Structure 1
């Protein structure tokens, strides 16, 4: 069974979505729904912390891109935190999404930039 934990927090003017576990075809709908909920609220400034993600497939990437599009449509931003998880970082690099998604090493760095 695929495990996924989502946690929402606040850091300065940013909403932080911390994702832990595996983001795949079975868990992506939860991630996507949470992103849509956060971005549809008053403040469309979201940081997605992927440090606890062990696996990320194409459906998860699709949710991140959809979140980015929604953020931009609301004059907001979506930033990614991914430093230690080499497998996730590698997926972003190989797909070219590292050039599209703003990636930071820490939540503090993402919220301060």
Structure 2
């Protein structure tokens, strides 16, 4: 099973809900599609990875690259996570940089206070 997802666009943010695997196989398409959507706007991105089964190093690299792209575009980049994704991100000490959130609601609250 590869990566699948949906996109919701609101006034000031985009919400991507993803399922499957964020790995070396899915990473190039993931990075290209999300990167293009950051350029299109809105610039504030919420990635809901709570239903993701696995993230490998190439997936983490794509997340870092997209977070930097969003920041360069003067937007925000937040990741809604699950225990597996959180563990992988914390293993490489990127939890602060990748702005991990426990729920979509928490990410939206964080966006309002920004």
TM over 0.5: yes
Quick one: distance in 1 between partners of 2:18 and 2:106? 17
1:99 is aligned to 2:96 = yes
In the other structure, the counterpart of 1:32 is 31
Contact 1:13 1:111 in 2 (8 A): no
What's the offset of the Cα at 1:12? 5.5
> SS where residue 97 of structure 1 aligns?
coil
Q: CA deviation at 1:60?
A: 0.5
Q: Which position in structure 2 is the counterpart of 1:81? A: 80
Task: Specify the SS of the correspondent of 2:79.
Answer: strand
Q: Secondary structure at the match of 1:55?
A: strand
Residue correspondence of structure 1 range 1-113 to structure 2 within 5 A = 2-11=1-10, 13-82=12-81, 85-113=82-110
Change (3 A) 1:11 1:18: same
Q: Is the 8 A contact 1:12 1:111 kept in 2?
A: no
Give a deviation string over 1:74-106, Cα, whole Å, max 9, x none.
111110001xx3111100111101021111111
Runs of 4+ residues over 3 Å off in structure 1 = none
More off after superposition, 44-53 vs 7-16: 7-16
Unaligned runs of 5+ in 2: none
* TM-score, with structure 2 as normaliser: 0.89
Runs (5+) with no aligned partner, structure 1? none
